[in-house]
Amino acid sequence: MTKALLFVCFVLLVIPSFAQNPQHDNNCSPSGVWYSEPYVLTIISTGEKEFSIRYEPVYDVTTYGYKAWTSWPGQLVRIRANRYRGQAISMFTTTSDTLELDGVRGWMEFTSCNSIKITYDFFGGYFDLNKIPFVDPPDVNYLPSGGLIETYRRMPTKCPACNLSAAPRKLGQRH
């Protein structure tokens, strides 16, 4: 009877582990290269719970009334397993040659070890560069009503497609 009871307890404890997603555990690392339309996001570990981040946008800046802008460098801090808070800034040159500093803050969560979701709760623009982003109120709030959510996929580190044969490249063909 005791052996049967122990077996039942063992089965009840082990079976739920089979239902867990093996790619989504508390050991997912955000370090790596991530992509989402229209950004490439690089995350590099700088400490036990701290990371450096850089968003690289792919936009036609003139569409938004700017002559040029920088990437979005920032910091990411682990709050708890699979949950992080990140902040990033970017500098813009407007068509009237004025500078603008924008800041975003978001909450990142893993949906699997190879995909993340970032929910932004702050997106502000500063025209007065004497103001401190995230400390002083922004001059303009760019956050849409209802917030802003982005999803990213991790760039794979393995390349099964690299072994596939491809059509031969012709001289002058763009890659």
pTM of the predicted model over 0.75 = yes
Residue-range domain boundaries for the chain: 59-70+79-157
Residue range 93-151, pLDDT digits in tens: 988 889 999 999 999 999 999 999 999 999 999 999 999 999 999 999 999 998 899 99
Burial 12-36 (b: 16+ CB within 10 A, else e): eeeeeeeeeeeeeeeebebebebeb
- Cα separations (Å) of 144 from 42, 64, 124, 149, 164? 25, 16, 11, 10, 44
Residue range 72-99, pLDDT digits in tens: 999 999 999 899 999 999 999 988 889 9
Residues sharing a CB contact under 8 Å with residue 111, sequence separation 6 or more, in sequence order: 24, 117, 151
Rg (CA), the chain: 22
**Tokens, residue 126:** 């500063």
Contact yes or no for 49/78 (Cβ under 8 A)? yes
Contacts 24+ apart (CB under 8 A), 61-69: 61/92, 62/95, 65/94, 65/95, 66/92, 66/93, 66/94, 66/95, 66/100, 67/93, 67/94, 67/95, 67/97, 68/92, 68/93, 69/93
Q: What is the pLDDT of residue 12?
A: 35
Mean pLDDT over all residues of the chain?
Answer: 84
Residues sharing a CB contact under 8 Å with residue 36, sequence separation 6 or more, in sequence order: 150, 151, 152, 153
